[in-house]
Amino acid sequence: MTVTTGPDPVEAIKASPIPFCFYREVHKGLRYGLFQLVTAVGSVDCADPQARDGVVDQVHAVITLLTEHHDHEDTALQSLIRANAPTVAPLLEEGHAEVEQDLVEIELRTDRLATSTGTEAVIAGLDLYGFLSLFVGRYLAHMGLEEGTVMATLRETISVEDLLQVQIAFRSSVPPPTMCRFIAVIMPALDPEERATLLGGMYAGAPPEIFELFRAATEAALQPAEYEALAGRIGLV
């Protein structure tokens, strides 16, 4: 895993048997959110207006996360990737364009579900479920490219010290309210050590009032026993 806390994070990264990766934590969160979404759309009673409205809201929330994630990647990382991984940069840009088209299609199908009733709503729900399932398959491959070929190339061309600074700058540029929305899907998807690394890094680096937002979002995202274990591990209790 990516280790960013402790007395010497660079040495910890170098000593770790798991390669450094910008994407690991956020992609775990996006997978968690997408898998939950597909399950929710597949199991919802589309003829029930309240249930239908709830799953429509869930679709919109995940689309917002994906859009914010891609916008942030394009702003903070794409120029770095073009400079240091020029052979794969066009593949990423093409992938992002395809994702944007897919998100438009998901929105259209979601709007159709939201405005349908009875049997038409059931048909619209199945159509949305089928498209979402195909989209998730394509998106998993896209994330695999970033985690695999892209990161392997960056690790060959950029020092660990510089990669760490890029990651810190990348995370620090996310507005706190946006970070809290990501925490809601990231923290449940991480293993205990990853949770401690992520929240511990926030504890060490964020102003107290900002860290409290992140801490509260983390507590809300986890089961009580999971949060208690995490808080004890990084010295919050």
Assess whether pLDDT exceeds 50 at residue 2.
Answer: no
Average pLDDT over residues 102-111: 97
Average pLDDT over residues 158-181: 92
Average pLDDT over residues 63-73: 94
pLDDT at 62: 97
Q: What domains are defined for the chain?
A: 21-173 (1.20.120.520), 175-237 (no CATH)
Give the 3-state secondary structure of the chain: CCCCCCCCHHHHHHHCCCCCCCCHHHHHHHHHHHHHHHHHHHHCCCCCHHHHHHHHHHHHHHHHHHHHHHHHHHHHCHHHHHHHCCCCHHHHHHHHHHHHHHHHHHHHHHHHHHCCCHHHHHHHHHHHHHHHHHHHHHHHHHHHHHHHHHHHHHHHHCCHHHHHHHHHHHHHCCCHHHHHHHHHHHHHHCCHHHHHHHHHHHHHHCCHHHHHHHHHHHHHHCCHHHHHHHHHHHCCC
pLDDT at 7: 55
pLDDT at 9: 77
Distance CA 236, CA 210 (A): 15
